[in-house]
Amino acid sequence: MKQIQILGTGCAKCKTLAENARKAIEEAGVEAEIEKVEDIKEIMKFNVLMTPGLVIDGEVKAAGRVLSPEDIKKLLVS
């Protein structure tokens, strides 16, 4: 099972990234769990300076931009 974390304080872009991640999981048929990380101290542990951030299995895959469901699917299956 993949562990996906959405890093952000709850802004619109963070919510869009979370929704895109849900769509990507559903479309890819991958088993995954999404966790929203909103605590700034926890976000800083990932060395992410701009949100939203996307972390898959502990590795930062994107920061400061909203990935499309297609982009996230590529990251999930690689």
Q: What is the pLDDT of residue 13?
A: 96
Beta strands at 59-63 and 2-7: parallel, antiparallel or unpaired: unpaired
Cβ neighbours of residue 42 under 8 Å, at least 6 residues apart? 7
Catalytic residue, candidates 6, 14, 25, 37: 14
What is the pLDDT at residue 78? 75
Three-class SS state of 3: strand
Return the CATH fold of 2-77: Glutaredoxin (3.40.30)
- The one catalytic residue among 11, 44, 49, 50: 11
Euclidean distance between CA atoms 62 and 37, whole angstroms: 14
Residue 11 annotated in active site: yes
- The answer to whether residue 14 is catalytic is yes
Which residue ranges of the chain lie beneath pLDDT 50? none
What are the boundaries of each domain within the chain? 2-77
Residue 33: per-residue pLDDT: 96
User: Which string of b and e fits 12-40 if b means at least 16 CB within 10 Å?
Assistant: eebebbbebbbebbeebeeebeeebbeee
